[in-house]
C-alpha cells in the first residue's frame, strides 16, 4: 500500500502531460518563490516547460536578494500570455486571494492559507502548515528528488520567513522539512538573504532619524518627512526597538499624501494597536497588534492648526503631543485628584 504522501505526489504528477507548457503564477514572497521553484523541479522531464510569473513587482530588498543570489528566473505576469499555457499552477495562494488568480482557472493549487473552498482538478491545502515550502519539500522527498543547493536554500529561507523562525504557526511537518533542508541548504547564503533588508538610499533616513529623534522616558519618536515608502519607517522603528531600554518606538513619514505613523512596542504591558486606534483612529485608518501597529492619515484630513506637515519639527511635536495627551480633568465635584490622572499605562 502506498503512503498518503506518495499517493498525493502521483495525483499531482498525473495532472501534467509531457507536451504541457506550465505557468506557475505567484504573488512573489519567499514562500511563493521557493514553492514555485520546487514545482519547476518536480516537473522537470514531466512537462515541456515551466515558467514562473510574478503578479507583484518585487520591491523588498531581501526578496530582491533572494531572486538575485539564488538565480531565480521570474517573468512579470504582465509579459505573459496565459492562453499560451496548457496548465496553470498556484502555489502559496488561492484563487480568491486575487482577481487575476481567480480569472486563471488553475489546474493545481497547493497552499497553506485558510481553505477558501477553492476548486481545481488538483488541490492540496493544508492550513495547519507554517509554509507552502514544507508541503513542497514533502513532494520532493516523496519523488526521491534531492534538492540542489539553491532550491534547498530557497525552501529553507521560505520556512524560516513564513514561520518567523518558528515563532508563528508551525506544524511538526515544518520542523521535519526544515531539518531535512538544513543539511542541504547554503546557510551563509540564506543568512545573507534574510539580512539584506536595507536599500542604500535608506541610509539618509537613518541620518534624519538619529538627528531629529526625541526621547521621552522609554519612548523614542522620530519623523522622517517625505519618504519613498513607509517601509523605511518600519525599518527605523524596528531599529530603535533594539535599544534595550526602549519600550516604544514611533516613527512617521509622509508618503502618497498621507502621514504614516508606525508603532512598535515591546508588547509586554503595552498595546500598540490600541494606542494607534485611540490617538489616530478618528483621523484615518489606525490599528494593529500588541507589538506592532500603524496609522495612516490623509494629509487632507489634517486641519489641526498645530500641525504643519511641511515642517518636520512641528509634525513631530504634534504627534508626540497627541500620543502623550493626558486625559482631560474631570469636572464633577466628586472627582478625586482629577488633574493628576496619569497618561494611560499603554500610552
Query: Of the two residues 137 and 270, which places its CB atom closer to Mn ion in the complex?
Result: 137
Query: Of the two residues 23 and 136, which places its CB atom closer to Mn ion in the complex?
Result: 136
Residue 46-85 contact track with Mn ion, rule CB under 5 A, x = bound = ----------------------------------------
92 binds Mn ion (CB under 5 A): yes
3-state secondary structure of 249: strand
Residue 295-314 contact track with Mn ion, rule CB under 5 A, x = bound = --------------------
- Chain centroid to Cα 298, Å, comes to 23
Cα–Cα distances (Å) from 315 to 77, 224, 263, in that order, read 40, 10, 16
Within 22-41, the residues that bind Mn ion by CB under 5 A are: 31
Query: Of the two residues 132 and 137, which places its CB atom closer to Mn ion in the complex?
Result: 132
Min separation Cβ 147 and Mn ion, Å: 18
174 binds Mn ion (CB under 5 A): no
Query: Of the two residues 31 and 107, which places its CB atom closer to Mn ion in the complex?
Result: 31
Report the residue from 20, 107, 138, 162 that binds Mn ion according to the rule CB under 5 A. 162
Query: Of the two residues 91 and 261, which places its CB atom closer to Mn ion in the complex?
Result: 91
Query: Of the two residues 164 and 256, which places its CB atom closer to Mn ion in the complex?
Result: 164
39, 12, 14, 13: which is closest to 24 by C-alpha?
39
Within 207-266, the residues that bind Mn ion by CB under 5 A are: none
**How many Å is the Cα radius of gyration of the chain?**
24
- Chain centroid to Cα 32, Å, comes to 12
Min separation Cβ 93 and Mn ion, Å: 8
Eight-class DSSP state of 301: G
Q: How many residues bind Mn ion, per CB under 5 A?
A: 4
Stretch in the footprint of Mn ion (CB under 5 A) among 89-97, 269-277, 284-292, 294-302:
89-97
DSSP string, 325-342: PPPPPP-STT--SGGGPP
User: Rounded to an integer, what distance in angstroms lies between the CA atom of residue 220 and that of residue 213?
Assistant: 7
Hey, what's the cell of 163?
514561520
First and final CA of the chain: distance in angstroms? 61
Min separation Cβ 61 and Mn ion, Å: 19
Residue 272's contacts (CB-CB under 8 Å, 6 or more residues apart) are 248, 263, 264, 265, 288, 289, 290, 291, 292, 293
Min separation Cβ 35 and Mn ion, Å: 8
Min separation Cβ 131 and Mn ion, Å: 5
Stretch in the footprint of Mn ion (CB under 5 A) among 43-51, 65-73, 127-135, 231-239:
127-135
Residue 24's contacts (CB-CB under 8 Å, 6 or more residues apart) are 36, 39, 40, 50, 51, 52, 53, 89, 90, 91
Min separation Cβ 66 and Mn ion, Å: 14
- Chain centroid to Cα 324, Å, comes to 30
The residues that touch Mn ion, with contacts defined as CB under 5 A, are 31, 92, 132, 162
Amino acid at each position: 500500500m502506498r503512503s498518503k504522501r506518495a499517493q498525493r505526489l502521483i495525483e499531482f504528477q498525473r495532472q501534467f502531460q509531457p507536451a504541457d507548457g506550465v505557468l506557475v503564477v505567484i504573488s512573489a514572497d519567499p514562500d511563493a518563490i521557493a514553492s514555485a521553484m520546487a514545482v519547476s523541479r518536480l516537473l522537470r522531464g514531466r512537462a515541456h516547460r515551466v515558467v514562473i510569473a510574478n503578479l507583484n513587482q518585487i520591491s523588498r530588498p531581501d526578496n530582491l536578494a533572494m531572486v538575485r543570489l539564488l538565480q531565480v528566473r521570474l517573468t512579470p505576469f504582465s509579459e505573459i500570455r496565459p492562453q499560451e499555457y496548457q496548465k496553470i499552477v498556484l502555489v502559496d495562494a488561492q484563487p480568491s486571494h486575487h482577481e487575476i488568480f481567480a480569472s486563471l482557472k488553475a489546474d493545481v493549487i497547493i497552499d497553506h492559507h485558510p481553505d477558501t473552498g477553492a476548486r481545481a482538478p488538483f488541490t492540496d491545502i493544508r492550513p495547519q502548515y507554517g509554509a507552502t515550502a514544507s508541503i513542497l519539500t514533502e513532494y520532493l522527498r516523496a519523488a526521491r528528488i534531492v534538492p540542489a543547493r539553491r532550491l534547498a536554500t530557497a525552501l529553507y529561507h521560505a520556512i524560516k520567513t513564513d514561520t518567523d523562525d518558528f515563532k508563528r504557526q508551525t506544524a511538526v511537518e515544518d520542523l521535519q522539512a526544515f531539518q531535512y533542508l538544513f543539511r542541504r541548504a547554503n546557510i551563509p547564503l540564506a543568512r545573507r538573504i534574510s539580512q539584506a533588508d536595507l536599500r542604500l538610499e535608506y541610509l539618509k533616513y537613518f541620518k534624519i532619524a538619529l538627528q531629529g529623534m526625541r526621547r521621552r522616558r522609554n519612548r523614542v519618536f522620530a519623523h522622517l518627512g517625505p519618504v519613498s515608502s513607509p517601509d523605511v519607517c518600519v525599518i527605523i522603528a524596528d531599529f530603535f526597538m533594539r535599544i534595550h531600554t526602549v519600550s516604544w518606538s514611533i516613527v512617521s513619514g509622509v508618503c502618497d499624501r498621507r502621514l504614516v505613523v508606525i508603532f512598535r512596542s515591546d508588547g509586554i504591558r503595552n498595546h500598540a494597536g490600541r494606542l494607534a486606534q485611540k490617538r489616530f483612529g478618528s483621523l484615518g485608518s489606525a490599528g494593529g497588534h500588541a507589538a506592532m501597529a500603524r496609522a495612516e492619515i490623509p494629509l487632507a484630513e489634517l486641519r489641526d492648526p498645530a500641525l504643519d506637515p511641511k515642517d518636520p519639527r512641528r509634525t513631530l511635536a504634534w504627534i508626540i503631543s497627541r500620543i502623550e495627551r493626558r486625559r482631560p480633568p474631570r469636572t464633577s465635584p466628586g472627582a478625586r485628584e482629577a488633574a493628576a490622572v496619569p497618561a494611560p499605562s499603554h500610552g
